[in-house]
Amino acid sequence: MITEPSERLYGLDHLRALAIVLVLLFHYRAFKHPEWIDTIGRFGWTGVDLFFVLSGFLISGQLFKEMNSKRTISLKTFYIKRFFRIIPAYVFTLFLYFTIPFFREREALPPLWKFATFTQNYGLDVIDQGTFSHAWSLCIEEQFYLILPLFLLIVIPLKLFKYFTLLIIFLILSSLMMRLAVWNIAVAGLDENSSDFWRSWYMHIYYPTHTRLDGLGTGVLIGYFMQYSSAFKRMVHQNGNWLLLVGIVLLGVTFWICNEQASEVASVFGFTLVAVSYGFIVLSAVSESSFLSKKKSYVTAQLAALSYAIYLSHKGIIHIIQMIFDQFNLENSDMICLTVCLLGCVSVGLVYRFLIEKPFAHIKYRILKKEKLSEG
């Protein structure tokens, strides 16, 4: 149906908006804030996992559709699209961090080469080099964009694609098992109230790609079944609201299990449970029968469109606004400052959109048009 993509977009917009709000509330806890932020924002770290599930679903879905129509994947086209979507705004944010010290929410930055190679998430000492630490998730996504199409081009000629479901499940379970092993080797025995514990936990469990494959893998599995299983797709479209209910209940149970984010149970099983919970919610968002997919919202659509720019810049913007409040002896831990900070993040997101993302999108379209003409 012609209307199906737009209907699905509404649901995914709601989830992108939810994801960026969760991230904002979680990171706002690192600044002066109202007391209720500690309660509401403590599970905001799962917003990144929701982004992972969405990315896995959307990117794999695009690749599966191309495989079905063309029997192959154009790596050049895929990487051009990803480059112009991700790199310009990212490079601009790096420019701000490395040339304007006032923009930095903390003092020390990891070396530039780690940001440039998207390997900052490995060996990231968030205690001593925590500035722009939130780029760790972008590193994982970029590694995913690089590897997934290559992986598909390898398994297809080897006739391993029929085992694709098992391969992805194996990757997810491997990620869980690696967290268990790392917990016992590098984290267990450390004082949970010490900086050594948190440094090791973030460095070895929370940030590395190989321990955070749950969300992306779940999203890829959803994309695979929605593309290749008509029975699964029919079930999803007929039971959208039930899938949402299951996802919310499972997420509630998961939050209870992950009440202490860095506990052993949460560290080993939590990321998998969060990914599966959000997986059900993503399925609901793309279901024709779900109210999520039918309900259009201007607010969530705009937040979704700005989510990447806001994610990149929000810590620096919050830091600057709170510093300005300090300069004028204004209270910066109340709702007024919170509102100004959130509006500031959205405003800077709009600057990114019109000065960076849209101009580079036009360049991307021209390059892709030339590529299509040359192929023709």
> What pLDDT digit, counting tens, does each position of 73-83 carry?
999 999 999 99
CA 151 to chain centre: 21
As a whole number of Å, the CA-based R_g of the chain is 21
Cα within 13 Å of Cα(59), Cβ side? 28
What is the b/e burial string over 57-72, where b = at least 16 CB atoms within 10 angstroms of the residue's CB?
Answer: bbbbbebbebbeeeee
Are residues 233 and 248 in contact, defined by beta-carbon separation less than 8 angstroms?
no
> What pLDDT digit, counting tens, does each position of 138-195 carry?
999 999 999 999 999 998 888 888 899 999 999 999 999 999 999 999 999 899 889 9
What is the identity of the amino acid at 90?
A: Y
The CA–CA distances, whole Å, from 84 to 89, 120, 230, 351 equal 9, 21, 34, 17
Range from 24-38, 133-147, 359-373 carrying the lowest mean pLDDT: 359-373
pLDDT confidence of residue 71 = 84
Crossing angle (nearest 10°) for helices 230-238 and 214-228: 100
Q: Which two tokens stand for residue 159?
A: 């006739």
| Integer Cα distance of 35 and 274 in angstroms | 25
Taking alpha carbons only, the member of 67, 65, 85, 68 closest to residue 367 is 85
Mean pLDDT over the full length of the chain: 93
pLDDT confidence of residue 108 = 85
Are residues 244 and 281 in contact, defined by beta-carbon separation less than 8 angstroms?
yes
Are residues 335 and 44 in contact, defined by beta-carbon separation less than 8 angstroms?
no
What is the identity of the amino acid at 144?
A: F
Mean pLDDT for the stretch of residues 104-132:
92
Cα within 13 Å of Cα(315), Cβ side? 21
Q: Is 372 exposed, middle or buried (0-12, 13-18, 19+ CB in 10 A)?
A: exposed
Taking alpha carbons only, the member of 290, 265, 213, 227 closest to residue 64 is 227
pLDDT confidence of residue 5 = 39
pLDDT confidence of residue 376 = 58
> What pLDDT digit, counting tens, does each position of 183-229 carry?
999 999 899 889 999 999 999 999 999 999 999 999 999 999 999 99
